Structure 1
């Protein structure tokens, strides 16, 4: 990775008010290189250049870091590992499950986990409705996965009453928010600030109602 990309990454970290050790910075840049390499064959993302990957994917994922609560997280429809891989690099003390039904994408995730030595990550090649975890997750995270109602209906079996659903969105999905299933409450809608990204980004937190 060229020095200017490292400088861009470190500048983005500063804007996000995040601190990384050298090993973590190297992991982030290695991940970017792997994504570019594999993308030539498997078309993992429409974003092609290192600078755009850092801004559109890595910084966007890291904008979620201050919202993580708990120890066990699942990234549903993880694709190329977004936001799961950046979050796992940044939070080595937390456990992340990356779930995707596409075998090519989970093979990429296996390669990333192996080369980056991410002991806090496991990749699962299954449809969400066919995956049964040993115990519920503290947070269920989606990014460009589906509408809110579909997310809640398809991921409900992964949750306990304490689990927080976190949906990363672009513009505020007012219609989706009005259409969430009964039994759930919207806890918050938060606008995200992503370094170098001139577009709307929001996260919505949802929780099952207490009985």
Structure 2
């Protein structure tokens, strides 16, 4: 078994519930749901189709403010951004457009045109996305390569605290959540991708690209 983020073979069982086994990588500390529990693409999309977020949902926009407020403080408009994994109602992109940002959207299910993945951006947002990705090494390498030098990657995902709290954690019960990140995981990512890490809050981190070259 290889870690899908750092390719380490040092993987240990971390937790078990009625539905799944979970493992942790000893190197990057990523927690991984047993691959046999991963949903098919059709079943995964069916779960997302149940979401009822809209572009002007004030409650959802308030939730997203934890990501867009620190972003706007670091990257004033006008600037070019990509909402990666935006879902069927890209509320974050819609709001940032209203604040004079130029926004593109990509989502493998709902905005699958690959042309936005051929551009470079001042920032990329991934709000409630990376916990769904089965091959984070591939996808994060792609995402980091889309950033201009000095560009920002904004990630919103709830973070693993410790093994005891993980066992009682509601976040792991979503069957589409398959990879779980901690502070240590983001510290590993920042070092690997040559980025600086800013831990903004309990579910938001910002990473800034340091070099002009694409991620390794």
Question: For 1:95-114, what aligned pairs fall within 5 Å after superposition?
Answer: 95-102=102-109, 105-106=110-111
- CA distance 1:151–1:83, shift in 2 (3 Å): farther
How far apart in 2 are the matches of 1:153 and 1:66? 23
How far apart in 2 are the matches of 1:60 and 1:126? 27
Partner of 1:176: 185
How far apart in 1 are the matches of 2:51 and 2:58? 10
What do you get for the CA RMSD once the two structures are aligned?
Answer: 3.1
How far apart in 1 are the matches of 2:211 and 2:53? 46
Does 1:205 find its partner at 2:206? yes
Partner of 1:59: 62
Question: For 1:75-90, what aligned pairs fall within 5 Å after superposition?
Answer: 75-79=83-87, 80-89=89-98
Partner of 2:126: 142
- CA distance 1:189–1:126, shift in 2 (3 Å): same
Give structure 1 regions of 4+ aligned residues with deviation exceeding 6 angstroms. Answer: none
Cα deviation code 1:154-206 (max 9, x no counterpart): 21221122111111122362242143162423331112xxxxxxxxx532111
Cα deviation code 1:31-68 (max 9, x no counterpart): xxxxxxxxxxx875545488xx532x221123323522
Q: What is the number of residues matched between the two proteins?
A: 133
5+ residue gaps, structure 2, are 1-45, 161-181
5+ residue gaps, structure 1, are 1-41, 107-124, 192-200
